[in-house]
Structure 1
């Protein structure tokens, strides 16, 4: 089953035109349980800007990894700061340029590597980057483009990276983030996306590069589009994703749910979801609801750590105007199951709550 949610040979496009920066949630989770697997954050690897791409740490790169690359000032580090460090979007304006490779760790053994910006591929150490960086079936490439900058130069650099990556890993997923679209009209966003997509596909076909796993995303740090885009990137790297999707499909079908997400608590990135189409507004609403629940828990609850079994029993039901309900079940200390239901059948509540507890337990067993 294709974890992208689309056809294997196509590209998926996401619009990100709604929403604001959001509330900064507490990264410790609903139950404030401690778990090393749920620890996220930035660590900067030692080395100078000249040697960060070919140092001894390359041999120890995580098996499940996302490689984030792009031109300087394209917004790579700002994206990660907002997602992983809960930084407010406007606070990223004062961030210094990235000169060393940064490491951001997620749950399930997934690691995101933030590479410094590339001014000129032929004159940087990227040209001598060890091919082993791109190797492995669990590696994924993300290239960030400033949609209001020099797109042609950025694309030329991207093609050089793709050639190197596909020389050692022809099937590596290529995810293109058209970033900084917040200042553009919806019509202009779509025009830029269509133009870039046509140019990329035409060039890759001409150069006999594999375009099977190419995705395009419209992103901005001022709404949830960056988290949704990263979700679609990392879920391909999630262990046993097909099993998780099958369980969530069954849960939605048996309980008449509209949508179910398995969220990473600290980042609000969804690690798995059912196979029904994911609406951007629905995802944004789910993120904001989870943040609100975390804020309430931080105010009303203690900070006593819970064991995994105890944490798995935590659940929250949120009703919206009597016609919309959200069910949240804590799977473990770093992930929650969030379900959305618009059905007006009161007798389904007990069924959903019972099934939700069982599904959360089953997912917890799969993730062990």
Structure 2
């Protein structure tokens, strides 16, 4: 099996250049910490700027008001967001649009995709209390009631649900997995803010009990499992990008400290016990980033794309966790306080690992894909 090359498209290079400066300027660490304490968790004005730049439209077809590129071009943007811990509904909204592209009806696509392209916020409601990363394990249900569907159950980790105009939820309908569209009015009063370890994000539980929606709100039921598989791969790719960006940031943060902190009359970066793990983290980061852009290039290739994406997530999860953990340790007592930025990255790494499968889970999936 031959993996994709490591080159970059012109579009990726241009987007990386713009995203690098934009995220650096719009998401300094003091702004990150300020937003962590805010009600919404993100800056609506900056979100509008991102939409004006066309980022929310990157992977949406031109026929629906999008730019007409692919997730490969979304990757460099998300990477820089992760590098600067940029709080925004960008990934959640991109995944919502990908869901519609993969299995929405013409009516659903023509109604929602132009809105998402212009900056309307969408999100997904796929996880439940059992914590299974198998998206086909669904206990929330939809029961036919004439021309309507009566819903029951609860969904967890609905990211940015409090500001979403569109929520796409997974349910079981007539013994089969199904995806349904819910608008802001339908979920109003049904969302409960969750306390999660990564405070740069906002997460909600969604109670579905007693909610009635028209049957036309369901996506193509015959494609539901195919859509869920696509969502998982898309989410895993974008998580890998965010984690690679975060890894670069926390390594830079650590190196800066090692080059300036003195102890016993020496710069502490001269000590091998600190130097060698930092080099290991950097080498692993470069490997993970190579996996990331290989996965971005081969994402749409059947079979090969899944292998590349799972390798990317496993590598990114490993290095982000390790680099952030070493950064905390190397900062001594300060590293264990809330004021140390390394702790924010460690929390982000833990949360990413909890969504769509950690490194061990990805490797288990890879073993079946590669060894049969």
TM bracket (short chain): under 0.3
- Normalized per residue, the structure richer in strand is 1
Comparing both chains, which one has the higher relative contact order based on Cα–Cα distances under 8 Å and sequence gaps of 6 or more? 1
- Normalized per residue, the structure richer in helix is 2
Q: TM-score, normalised by structure 1?
A: 0.25
Q: TM-score, normalised by structure 2?
A: 0.25
